Amino acid sequence: MPDVQHMKATMRRYADLFNAGDHVAVADLYADDAVIEDPVGKRPVEGRAAIEKFYADSIAAGAKLVAHEVRGSYGNRSAMRFSADLPGLHIDGIEVMTFDDGGKVVRMEAFWGPDDFQAV
- Answer whether 117's CB lies under 8 Å from 90's CB: yes
| Interatomic CA distance for residues 87 and 52, integer angstroms | 21
In the residue annotation, 55 being an active-site residue is answered as no
Comparing CB distances to a second copy, the nearer of 56 and 63 is: 63
Asked if residue 2 has a cis previous peptide bond (ω within 30° of 0), the answer is: no
Strand-pair category, 77-86 with 45-46: unpaired
Q: Quick check: 93 binds a second copy (CB under 8 A)? A: yes
Q: Which stretch binds a second copy (CB under 8 A): 11-19, 21-29, 55-63, 69-77?
A: 69-77
Q: Quick check: 104 binds a second copy (CB under 8 A)? A: no
Q: Quick check: 115 binds a second copy (CB under 8 A)? A: yes
Active-site hit among 22, 28, 38, 85: 38
Active site residues: 14, 38
